[in-house]
Amino acid sequence: ETGVTQSPTHLIKTRGQQVTLRCSSQSGHNTVSWYQQALGQGPQFIFQYYREEENGRGNFPPRFSGLQFPNYSSELNVNALELDDSALYLCASSHGITNTGELFFGEGSRLTVL
Amino acid sequence: AQKVTQAQTEISVVEKEDVTLDCVYETRDTTYYLFWYKQPPSGELVFLIRRNSFDEQNEISGRYSWNFQKSTSSFNFTITASQVVDSAVYFCALTEAAGNKLTFGGGTRVLVKP
């Protein structure tokens, strides 16, 4: 186990609704990254948070937003859900942004949009 | 823009056979890092290996080995004497010098039969 926990593990929403996904990073890690993995594809980088500030964003619209809290846990919010938002959402934690090391991933939150 | 291509979508082998996974990447950066991750059915991505762009030395770690060739932008990964527990989806990934913002390939599903 990586020590990264995500909730909920599964959820079903309908088009137009909003969803919040949560992630607790591994102890000692101050950086959280979120990835979207559609079925049968590789993960795609959504954004990264470092010390409560967004530190880089992938090619995702503004309706994808996030937060990082003082304890370094994080939330991913998606507004106005679309069918194509159905995917596994993975959270990864690491320490710092000036080095490049191993990312520790959670088991993901599987979102189904009907 | 960075891009990672894994041409093999699925490989099926019998236990104890060797498995080689291909990965080709594109980047304009002169400093970058390459990774291999394993994704078992549980969903979390498990770090396997990392290599930076200045180190083309190929190594062996247990049953894993890799072949990094900068001249052909390839970073191939081999599992020696495969086991049933190696069955998973394997992802090759690339990131710039710092920051852990990974670009993943589409993945290769490995099925090891007893």
The DSSP string of B4-29 is EE---SEEEEETT--EEE--EEE-S-
A101 touches chain B (CB under 8 A): yes
Provide the phi-psi class of A88: left if phi over 0, else alpha when psi is between -120 and 50, else beta: beta
SS3 B70: helix
> Tell me, what DSSP letter sits at residue A85?
G
pLDDT of residue B98: 67
Residue B68 has pLDDT above 70, yes or no: yes
pLDDT of residue B104: 96
Is omega for the bond preceding A70 within 30 degrees of 0, making it cis?
no
Give me the percent of chain B exceeding a pLDDT of 70.
97
Q: What is the pLDDT of residues A42-78, one digit of tens each?
A: 999 999 999 899 998 999 999 999 999 999 999 999 9
H or E element at residue A94: strand A87-94
Separation between Cα atoms, residue A78 and residue A17, nearest integer Å: 9
Mutate to test the interface with B, among A98, A103, A104 (most CBs of B within 10 A): A103
